A = this chain, B = another copy of it.
Amino acid sequence: SNAIGQEKQLTAKTNKGGIVLTSGDQDYKINFNGRIYMDGVHYFDDVTDLSSDASIHDVRLGTKVTWGKWIAKINIGFGNDEVKIKDAFLRYNYSKNSTFTLGNFFEPFGIEASASSGASNTTQAMGIGRSIGLGYTYYTNKFYGSTGVFAGSVDNMNKGDQGFSTTSKLAYTPISKENLTVQLGGSFTYRIPEANGFNEAFNDDDYNRQVVLNAGPEHKFLNADITGARTDMRFNFQALVLSGPFMFQSEFTQTNVTRDDDYMSRLMKDGPAFYVTYVWPTKPKDYPDWYGKLRDIQTKAYYAQIGFLVGDNYSYKSSTAYINRPKAGTYEFLVRYDNTNLNDIDGTYFNGAYGDADLATALTGVGNMSIAGGKAETYSAAVNYYLNDNIMFRLNYSLMDVTNQKYPLDEKIGMLKARVQVNF
């Protein structure tokens, strides 16, 4: 009968150091997962002092439950004593290599999906994290495609309508042999940034949309805060080559933000609000004249890295379009060059603002709101030791060659980072 059918015996197993309980018919399955990421960082700072620090960057608890073709995953982060909903989604396995996902999960963009602290500055600055949405993924041995529509991030508690985005990734692996894998891919996202708050006085929920791109130590030297944003479009190209113990990986990302500030709202806030018949002598159009015209902003970044394994060969995993974890006892050596440029500056910098390219015109006060988020070339070398399927040690040294108008005296920033990573 139905009631008997519902109660099933489960068998407990460990697989790759994790735990799973499964019913005999494989119809019911439950995993428990967790994570501890411990970090120590020492800065060899230049002029601006940086805070060397030991931290429990990420700690997580979670579970994954499977009922036939449906999977629910919960994974909550508690790093630095703050709650963050990581994965919280319901997934439907439509067919073997094809899934629908609804909830909070990573938007499919680039190789290094998550802007985690191990990622390149390129990915930290312009990568995209998790959002609430609906996604679809399909893959074969040679092809990986993932797309979705999203409605802002789970931690945006601001009032104001949430953002919107649609993000897609395609990866093609023309060569996928035992001793050579070559993958090329691209990603694209179109986004309406989230509103930052709601103005009760003006009943305005569409105000103060903002795109923030930042990376690196304390987000100091790479930090572009693009106010008055209207749309945010990004694309990414990726390449991955695996050959025995060698790996090459590279990504290029470009971000285009269009801007269109709501001068009417700003005026309303600044001046007395004669909401309907407006009489104050200032006009909304005076704002760009006074403070400079908003410019659309374009930023670019790329990195390339080479990896070398001692004790294992690299292998490719079609379902994630990325690399499998090396086996226990493997050492991994990595070098990376990263070039992240968050400047989009037009004209001359004069008297604290960006003026016209022509100095004479600039002197008349004709300005623009360029973005000087800074740029950096970063050289990194890392060694990882995979103790087993669950424990990894990492030592990383980076040298950042920085050019940032806000920190004119800083030139070279050294960073030595140690990490212990426990996953199950």
Residues of chain A touching chain B, judged by Cβ–Cβ distance below 8 Å, are 2, 6-17, 19, 21, 23, 28, 30, 32, 34, 36, 38, 40, 47-56, 59-63, 65, 67, 70, 72, 74, 76, 78-85, 88-90, 102-104, 132-133, 151-152, 154-155, 157, 159-162, 195, 198, 203-205, 218, 327, 387-391, 420, 422, 424
The answer to whether A74 and B59 touch across the interface, beta carbons within 8 angstroms, is: yes
The answer to whether B17 and A67 touch across the interface, beta carbons within 8 angstroms, is: yes
The answer to whether A203 and B49 touch across the interface, beta carbons within 8 angstroms, is: yes
The answer to whether A204 and B72 touch across the interface, beta carbons within 8 angstroms, is: no
Contacts of A159 in B (CB 8 A): 51, 218
Contacts of A54 in B (CB 8 A): 132-133, 151-152, 162
Contacts of A47 in B (CB 8 A): 203
> Other than the known A8-B14, A32-B63, what 14 A-B pairs have Cβ atoms closer than 8 Å?
A10-B14, A12-B21, A14-B23, A14-B30, A51-B195, A51-B198, A51-B205, A53-B151, A55-B132, A61-B76, A65-B390, A65-B424, A70-B387, A80-B154
Task: With CB as the reference atom, state the residue of chain B lying closest to A76.
Answer: B78
Contacts of A59 in B (CB 8 A): 74, 76, 85, 88
Give the one of A15, A53, A102 with max B CB within 10 A: A53
Contacts of A132 in B (CB 8 A): 38, 54-56
The answer to whether B65 and A102 touch across the interface, beta carbons within 8 angstroms, is: no
Contacts of A36 in B (CB 8 A): 72, 74, 88-90, 103
The 6 closest A-B pairs by CB, nearest first: A54-B151, A10-B12, A72-B422, A14-B28, A54-B132, A81-B155
User: Assuming A56-B104, A74-B61, A83-B82, is B8 touching A13 (CB within 8 A)?
Assistant: yes
User: Assuming A15-B6, A76-B59, A89-B36, is B51 touching A160 (CB within 8 A)?
Assistant: yes
User: Assuming A90-B422, A151-B40, is B85 touching A49 (CB within 8 A)?
Assistant: no
Cβ of A29 to closest chain B Cβ, rounded Å: 9
The residue from B32, B65, B70, B391 contacting A30, defined by CB atoms under 8 A apart: B32
The answer to whether A16 and B12 touch across the interface, beta carbons within 8 angstroms, is: no
The answer to whether A81 and B85 touch across the interface, beta carbons within 8 angstroms, is: yes
23 chain-A/chain-B pairs, Cβ below 8 angstroms? A6-B14, A6-B15, A9-B11, A9-B13, A10-B13, A14-B30, A19-B21, A30-B32, A34-B74, A36-B74, A36-B103, A38-B102, A51-B195, A53-B162, A54-B152, A56-B103, A59-B76, A61-B62, A61-B74, A67-B391, A81-B84, A81-B155, A103-B420
Measured CA separation A102–B181 after assembly (Å):
38
Measured CA separation A88–B47 after assembly (Å):
34
The answer to whether A80 and B38 touch across the interface, beta carbons within 8 angstroms, is: no
